[in-house]
Structure 1
Amino acid sequence: MLRTILKYGVIAGVVVGGFEFVTFAAFSGMPPQKYGMLIGYTTMLIALSAVFVGIKRHRDVDRGGVIGFWPALGVGLGISFIAGIFYVAAWEAVQSMMHMDFANSYAQAIIASEKAKGASAEALAKLSADMEAFKVQYANPMFRLPMTFVEIFPVGVLVSLVSAGLLRNSRFLPLRRA
């Protein structure tokens, strides 16, 4: 089981990390805000398809075609955890290699968005103060690393739940014997 988790976790992590590098290189830094989340979460779902494949392989090869919900969920969460670690490492590498100041870019985008909506001077002053506090927090790796991990791991939990629910039924995509 550990071997399956590591193998498919690394595959998912390399895919999500690779897409992260390609995306930021293609946009020469931060992608436009309206596309960034779509690209990011689509990439996560593609990479986390390794959860489904890993659970199915574990069910069919290691467990003789039968797996319960909880063991399947455990495999899925393990794969998601490994992928999350790769995602965090890739994010840190992208920021370093591209000399990005994500916190500043993010803060400016949020403030500009609120200005465009016609926010009052008081609201903008409060938002600016909040964004300054965010920049200070984001500079701390003990804040930034878990925050980055939490971007991908809930997606992995959802994929793991769905995959475990489907694959606990041995008649769902059964192993084909030669």
Structure 2
Amino acid sequence: MKNIILRNGIFGGIAVSLVMAGMTMYMKNNPTNEPSEIVGFASMILAFSFLFLGIKQQREAQNGIITFGKAFLTGLKIALLISTIYVLVWLVIYYNFFPNFMEQYSEMVLNKMAKTATPEEIASKTEEMNMMKEWYKNPAFIILLTYAEILPLGIIFSLIGGLIFKKK
């Protein structure tokens, strides 16, 4: 079981992290262009497809029988590994290659909003971005915010995988 979780978690983590690293470097080199959220989301879906593979492999390793709980826990462990790799790669990128990320991201978001938003909406978003900049001064908040980007989707995929692959 450990091999199945490690193998699928590492492959999924590498897949999502490579795309995230590419998008981050694109954003760093093109500060006025917002990277595609669709590409980021699609990379997470690709990464979590390894979660489905892992649950299926676990079921096959158990002679085709797996309960919902066992399938869900297998998927959750893979999702945690994928998410942890994603967080660790982000920390390396942020602290070594893109330490001014929040300033650039904030500026990009506010410039995009300036075209269509009301002054009140811009003021609210500015306050929100300033709060995030403060959070980014604390490594624990960076870790929590980065997990919050990816882990909820992993939990959903684990639930779906548990339902799809359960077999008595």
> TM class, shorter-chain normalised?
0.7 to 0.9
With normalisation by structure 1, the TM-score equals 0.82
Instruction: Specify every segment of 5 or more residues in structure 2 that has no aligned partner in the other structure, as ranges.
Output: none
Aligned to 2:71: 72
Aligned to 2:102: 103
With normalisation by structure 2, the TM-score equals 0.87
Considering only aligned residues, what root-mean-square deviation do their CA atoms show, in Å? 2.1
Instruction: Specify every segment of 5 or more residues in structure 1 that has no aligned partner in the other structure, as ranges.
Output: 171-178
Q: Distance in 1 between matches of 2:146 and 2:73?
A: 22
Partner secondary structure for residue 112 of structure 2: helix
Q: 1:140 aligns with which of 113, 129, 138?
A: 138
- Deviation per CA, 1:6-51, whole angstroms, max 9, x where unpaired? 22111211121122223334x2627743x43111110011111110
Aligned to 1:116: 115
Confirm or deny: 8 A CA contact 2:114 2:122 kept in the other structure.
Answer: yes
Aligned to 2:129: 131
- Deviation per CA, 1:31-87, whole angstroms, max 9, x where unpaired? 743x431111100111111101101111002x1111011100000000000000000
Aligned to 1:37: 37
Confirm or deny: 8 A CA contact 1:29 1:100 kept in the other structure.
Answer: no
Aligned to 1:153: 151
Larger Rg: 1
Aligned to 1:21: 21
How big is the shift at 1:2? Answer: 2.8
Percent identity of paired positions between Structure 1 and Structure 2: 25
Confirm or deny: 8 A CA contact 2:51 2:158 kept in the other structure.
Answer: yes
- Deviation per CA, 1:141-170, whole angstroms, max 9, x where unpaired? 111111101111111112111111111147
> Which is worse superposed, 64-73 or 161-170?
161-170
Number of aligned residue pairs: give it: 166
Confirm or deny: 8 A CA contact 2:5 2:74 kept in the other structure.
Answer: yes
